[in-house]
Amino acid sequence: MSTQSTDSSVFESADFDSHETPDIFAAPGEDAGARVFTAQGGDWDDIVGDVGSLPEERIVVNMGPQHPSTHGVLRLILELEGETVTEARAGIGYLHTGIEKNMEFRTWVQGVTFCTRMDYVMPLFTETAYCLAVEKLLGITDEVPERASAIRVLMMELNRITSHLVCMGTGGMEMGATTVMTVGFRERERILSIFEMISGLRMNHAYIRPGGVAQDLPAGSIQAIREMMPLLRKGFHELELLMNENPILKGRTVGVGYLDLAGCMALGVTGPVLRSAGLPHDLRKAAPYCGYENYDFDVVTRTGADAYDRLRNRIDEMYQSLDIIEQVIDVLQGHAGPVMVADKKIAWPAQLAIGSDGMGNSLAHIKEIMGTSMESLIHHFKLVTEGFRVPPGQAYAAVESPKGELGCHLVSDGGTRPFRAHFREPSFNNLQAVAAMCEGSQVADVIVAVASIDPVMGGVDR
């Protein structure tokens, strides 16, 4: 047996690579076209034995971590027999940022600016879960103003729509349906402009704060949302016409990425993947938070347990989010009030405003604390630099994110920083289903199955 050094690793079997390339090291009289194996370490006798025992069509392929169909830097290790996937494993950690650890070295309020960057497609849900856990530790859950909770619901439901649009848009593009991508991102841009109007940023907002929100809705924002609603409904209908009964899309998604209810329960899978298997589990109904019990909406389910039903679920969930948003803006428009807890030892000492140079303290507030009240200036300085103290203990709070249950577990030692912060990120849990969804299917179906899970690697790796 001859060996050849090569950079290619398309075909891989156990401890060696096999190639159909000519053997440039063949001795005179040897067959230069014979199969070539490149050893990658291990005992030579074992390698030679494997060459004879393993089927020649068995190959291992790396899909990712830099691949347009792996939703970022996800690495999928696929063992193939021809086009059939016999084993699928997910390799993660390529986007690890150490966010949870970094939060231990920042104040409780500064933690918001870290966790919002985890799943950058649904940042407002992570902010809300974190702030709900902080408020539990502080014992001020019932003191959060109703207006602040309503604004949180408004922002989360808008964010749910943008997350689903990204899921469908990128999933459609991966299957070759580029129009789905352009329509989906066109509608997403409408909502991002609203986010920018309210928080000053299109993403990574740090808008939800412990005790409430950073600032009230600016003038004109509710009217802008009302004007956007019919445009969104029209765009959603356009997506439905493109996808729902499209025979090509149904051929690529029906029966693909199948995971039944028993599999979802065993793996801890939640969100649209779980609801596509028929279980109407939604924390907004099962364990309401932020006043969700006051809004009328339905939990959408289907029973196909495949990629197609997850797609249809997400479309229907976007319509449900629109219904919730309409109810919220009716509440917000008719009732003014504070958007932060009254306790000045906790409330962020700021009155933010969006000016020509971005979002910051309003000029009137700066003049007040610097010109008329030295005590306010001292309090502002200490609360921003040192932060407030949180009583010792631990708390867990969870919200229903676009991808499933998003939970935050916080531990306090009584200081101004979290002793430990840990998130139950649905992308991480749902990604466990890759093997169950993909093994036994075709290589092309792996892309569809992963897209139907909708993982975001910033949330997986953290």
Q: What is the pTM of this model?
A: 0.83
CATH of region 99-346+388-461, choose from 3.90.1150.10, 1.10.1500.10, 1.10.645.10, 3.40.50.720: 1.10.645.10
261: left (phi over 0), alpha (psi -120 to 50) or beta: alpha
Distance CA 455, CA 431 (A): 7
| DSSP category for residue 26 | P
Q: Where are the domains of the chain?
A: 16-91, 99-346+388-461
Distance of CA 131 to the CA centre of its chain: 18
Q: Write down the pLDDT at residue 7.
A: 38
Q: Which stretches of the chain score pLDDT less than 70?
A: 1-27, 29, 31-42, 44, 47-57, 349-350, 354-359
Q: How far is CA 187 from CA 182, 232, 264, 399, in A?
A: 9, 6, 31, 24
pLDDT tens-place string over residues 329-372: 999 987 888 888 988 888 876 677 766 666 677 777 777 777 77
